[in-house]
Structure 1
Amino acid sequence: MRLAPLIFLVLFLVGLSSAKIYFSETFDKEWESRWVESSFKKEEGKAGKFIQTAGKWFGDAEDGKGIQTSEDAKFYALSAKFPQSFSNKDKELVVQFTVKHEQRIDCGGAYIKLLPDTLDQANFGGDSPYYIMFGPDICGMSKKTHLIFNYNDKNHLIKKELKVESDQLSHQYTLILKPDNTYSVLIDNKEIQSGSLVEDWDFLAAKEIKDPKQSKPVDWVDVKEIDDPEDVKPADYDTIPATIVDPEATKPEDWEDEDDGEWEAPTIANPEFQGAWKAKKIPNPAYKGEWVHPLIANPDYKEDKNIYLFDKIGAAGFEIWQVKAGTIFDNIIVTDSVEEAKKFSEEHFEKNVEGEKKMFDDEEAKRQEEEKKKIEEAKKAQPAAEDAQESETDAEEEPVVVTTNTNEEKKVKKDVHDEL
């Protein structure tokens, strides 16, 4: 009886030992030796630079270091090759990384790309082929998590809206792609979406199509209601005016016809007027319901059990545009094991969440207190400024005193000129 737990433990450990981590990155001091900065947009002066930093708030000063976009309104293109390319055939593929928008991002991408091993890193840019694009994309009111897969050399966007985090704290994004053509997306280790690759993307042609040989019969009646043939417009209906003279209106007592003209009472809407006459509606006795186009099997449909499959996965990269820089990327892992991704999360993300939040709250409270003091100081300075302005105005408006005698006008103030 005691063997069962032991066997389970052995199987669990064997499972862990067979798990593979294809790539991981925490951006230590040697990070630049592993990543290649692309020449994309450099000649145009539109290329931004990543810098290593833990940012303004963090849980651990060293472990919290990632790479941050440092220049506004720039393109960023950076990539790293894996030690060895791989295929996710018959395995789960897990892509996980963290994002922190310290700058209160208003418009910019923050997604990661999984790339083929043929990537030209020196020229990595917007036209470089990729397998997967995953992560936040925020611009104004448009806020979402991108999840795009390349299938048959065409990029396909998910048909669903995936939520995104847009505050100033670190958040972890996890994609789990499964060999049964299903997927799951997690933010901060909580699932926000899961489903089928077949249903949530337009990878394949529709299984069924409308039969091109069929069309709605010409005598098909799909009008639900018709005018009641027995409902006849009253003979005097059109004689009812839309407006009438206001019976409560009276000629003002001070009205003078000779001066004001002939008085006319104002008009008001006629309560008896019902607008253009319309016959009552009754159910159409000939109604057959909505016509449904018959479906047939689509000859172009072809099942594919390997939509999830990518061969020669060999690099990861960030290729983004940001209006306002300041996003920090960190803690990347690409593996075939959900357990390994979770362990990596515990070691580099979860343990720092609480400390980062406390430091942020402290900094925010300090910032708000400083703003409050500035406002109070400005209010105190305002009366003094107003008094000084009033004194200046009084001085400017002081009258010039001039005395005269019987012979000529004399100046009392030397700066007052009499040009007569």
Structure 2
Amino acid sequence: MDFTLSERETYFREQVKAFIDREIRPRHADYIAQGHTGERWKVLPVIEEVKEKAKAAGLWNFFMPPRSGRAHVDDSFTFEGTQLTNLEYALCAEEMGKISWASECFNCSAPDTGNMEVFLRYGTAEQKERWLRPLMNGDIRSAFLMTEPQVASSDATNIQTSMVRDGDDYVVNGRKWWSSGVGDPRCKVAILMGKTSFEGSRHSQQSMMILDMETPGVSIERMLSVYGYDHAPHGHGEVSLTDVRVPASNVLLGEGRGFEIAQGRLGPGRIHHCMRTIGVAETALAAMAKRLQSRIVFGKRISDHSIWEQRVAKARIDIEMTRLLCLKAADMMDKAGNKAAQVEIAMIKVAAPTMALQILDDAIQAHGGGGVSEDFSLAHDWAAMRTLRFADGPDEVHNRSIARAEFGKYGDVAAERPVR
């Protein structure tokens, strides 16, 4: 197995790293200042300025959309951007993960990346012009409305939002939460999952449709906090849908196809989160190592105490193992398709947040009181990473998939007699 990076993989990783060092990291103080001045839910000038520079540099829309020739793809629409493979993008996304707002500067933020793929794969020519093009250009933002507060949404068959056909429209009623990005004033469109039928197969009752966020009856009830952080200007909201009329033409792919779309959308999104998570872990390890060598306790540097040598060593080992699993999953997606890589995606989705949380916890411990303050990014990063243990499916669901795949290998094997 050859672990050497190709010339193209190295080139884009270094281009992204250099751009972040040159244009993003030096302006992090501006980002913090602008975010804490005036209204929380607003467009930050620093992001818009850096986006223009990234676009001009050709560092834009890195993720690979559905390849031409795949089902439902309209090849007449040109998806503009760098369009890296999953493996190439993984290396770049790790660098983006080292600064929380870097991904948006390259137009590679969730949930926009997944929504763009859905529009490209299933949208009509008119829908692509209206919604995909401004998303692709970074002019608007979007949301994905799936999770509901009244049911266990880890089993999406529980979703209760109703979509009732009435002439040329559907009348939608329901409530969604953890709707990422709805607080951003640029959030103009959402992809909404609900039920067009409450009968028949559990996996054919759900449908997805395009929702114009300015439609009457759509109301953002509140923005939710994550361990006390509001995550503005992006954030996560609770949205009520009251007698919302959505044109029937906005149904994607047809009634009862919601699960099919969700599986195609969530696979790449899950691994994108994991790629960025590795960058978060690298940043936490660097902060921990620097802190341990700069503070003295009981007459010697903290780094000279053996317990910290063990923690730092384990952190490096865990990052390297997790990165290899992430790259393997990305490579399988490129070579065999998302479906063939389902188990690998599930494994990295469980492994990456767990790994990062442990390293962040150790880094917070190394910083003492400073670690839980806002003077460092560690507490904020821990809160963000903790959500990934249930965002895009909780650990338990992914572990269930992994275990069932493992059991499947031996399901036809007769029980072996014990060896005495």
TM, length-normalised to structure 2: 0.23
Greater RCO (CA < 8 Å, at least 6 residues apart): 1
TM, length-normalised to structure 1: 0.23
Structure having the larger proportion of residues in helix:
2
Structure having the larger proportion of residues in strand:
1
Q: Larger C-alpha radius of gyration, 1 or 2?
A: 1
